Amino acid sequence: MSPGLSRCDVLVVGAGPVGLFLAGELRRHGVNCRIIDRNAQPCQHARATGVHPRSLEILEQVGLVERFLPQGVRVRGVKTYTDGDRLIGQATHDDLASP
């Protein structure tokens, strides 16, 4: 084992939103883990800028949803436009079977 490296029980491959969430949950439950990622530095642009209803349900299960909700903007629907600003589609989220 290399100097300075501690033993880990789980190796998490990928430091994106899913990998970081998994590593956080593992640590919360007392599991030693190490995260590796193919990128040498953090990404310089936004990734995972939206949180879907199912993700909010999972965050609620682990006691984190109340920290996320005040930081977000609730989206009740979407509209899609062409480059020429012509509306080509729209959808609402009114019929989602999720709180």
For the stretch 33-58, pLDDT in tens is 999 999 988 888 877 778 888 888 99
Q: Which amino acid is at 17?
A: P
CA 66 from chain centre, in angstroms, equals: 15
Judge whether residue 74 has pLDDT over 90.
no
Query: Of all residues in the chain, what percent carry a pLDDT higher than 90?
Result: 47
Q: Please state, in angstroms and rounded to a whole number, the distance separating the CA atoms of residues 16 and 66.
A: 22
- Residue 11 CA: distances (Å) to CA of 4, 7, 19, 32: 16, 10, 10, 9
Is the distance from CB of 76 to CB of 94 less than 8 angstroms?
Answer: yes
Kindly report the pTM of this predicted structure.
Answer: 0.65
